[in-house]
Structure 1
Amino acid sequence: MHSKNQTKGSTMFAKRIVLLLILVPLALIGCKKDIDTSAVLATVDGEPITEKAYDFFIARLRQPVHPDKAKAKELILKQLVTQQLLVNYALDSKIDEELDVYLALARQRNALLIGAAQRKILKEFPSITEDQIKARYAKEVDATHKFAYKTSHIILASEADAKAVIADLDKGKGFAGLAKTKSKGPTKNKGGDLGWVQQGMVVPAFFEAVTKLKIGSYTKVPVKTQFGWHVIKVNDRRKVKIPPFDKVKADVARLIQQDMLAKKVDELKKKAKIDIKKVEASKPKESSEAKSE
């Protein structure tokens, strides 16, 4: 026979459990990431509530709760059922789509903050003068390669495959035909034709090889890039038209601003504690061919 104090204590215990259940974050979410093979304690419209979800919930409680107490377990299980009902209702009501909107707004907020930060940083630097822009323009013109090249290429998975293609070319086989049958890139159906390329449009190793070729010639040694092994042919060459200063003045000014921002970012990096985890490099997509990122 229970005393009044025992009954009162049980009631208070139950109320405390209910309050904790309201305050504890949804336990169901934490258990969905991994495959859960634990015992099923209940189901809600086919969605299981497992022993793992229950244990996860208990572990998240700030105050001690004894799982072996039947009343406590019953209350917790009922709350987990309630939570699953609400999750199901949210999904049925497309409320998750509203969450997507909030996430999109959060991304917009970050974009606005970044823009505001960039404007503030640029105000910390002296105003850009006309002479600075002209000097930078002259520097960019001087660094620009003066020719563009009409180029074709055959991209292959291995150096051995590329050497075999070069051997076929040396025997007189047509470049376009070999591209159609051997190339792993999307230009294969066009005979490997990349069109006109110039400095900055393709990765440096590819462009360097192109500049060493005469019109009508192809590389005698395979060219390696992150996209694979290339056999490259130059079909034509023409001078690059350098745009007049007035046409690119604003673009050149932005280059100077980028340098200012980069300088500030370097300062911030030195002050910040940054921990970048080591990740394995993913294999480059062959469809990217030799294009720069």
Structure 2
Amino acid sequence: MRKSLISSVAAILLLSGLSLSAKTLASVDGDEITDKDISVMLRAMPGVSYDQLPEDMQKKVLEQAIERKLLAKQAKSEGIQNSKEFKDALEDAKEDLTLEVWMRQQMNNAKVSEGDMRKFYDENKEKFVQPELVKAKHILVQNEKEAKEVIAEIGKAGAKASEKFSELAKSKSIDPAGQNGGELGWFSKDQMVPEFANAAFALQKGSYSKTPVKTQFGYHVIYAEDKKAQAVLPYEDVKPQIEQNLKIQKFRDSVSSTAKKLREKAQVTFK
């Protein structure tokens, strides 16, 4: 139970960015609505932040925040804060808030040294292995005949096969990526269906599939633009991730230790 509480609060603190500053997004009758207000509303959606939402969703969330502010003002005007129900709920909220603010302070106080981070990296390099990657583009058509015709056209382009491939992707591919010349960017083997992945990773850099590749989506022609061998990511690339993970672990250990000591001293009775 204690681990669950600590983990939940740690997640909340990370989602809120551990920031004490607030950015004003709107105001209602002079009352500000800040990014912190929005963060509170989004807590029910772990991993979601306001800045990452599409513009139309941001507008909807902000409208909900405005509505929430107006309803809260109405509730205050009706004297809800003087009711016993409100006062009881406020006491419960105070305890939750007290714990959350205290835990935020503990999280901020958790420090990780350069030596700790470097040691973790050196002892856990297998956790930072970047798999083999391929950067590719593709053309997706409905049948094998079309795919073979595409391959033939690319073959006629000779040294300009890459340019021809992009041109054909825009005019013939039924995949949305066709609008961008069939570009798929970098991907690992497990990010694609097996038939596509096996064909793509078998290609040499700068080559394309000479026979159609059949998947559940149709028939593909694949062009391998670049390849990266499996490698351990450099320390500097993963340092922020290591720092965050070690900081969370240090926070959890500290809070667990404090809770254990307090439990040993406390007089607890069950009824």
Range into which the TM-score falls when normalised by the shorter chain: 0.3 to 0.5
RCO higher in structure (CA 8 A, sep ≥6):
2
TM-score normalised by structure 2 residue count: 0.36
TM-score normalised by structure 1 residue count: 0.34
Q: Choose 1 or 2 for highest CA Rg.
A: 1
Structure having the higher helix fraction is 2
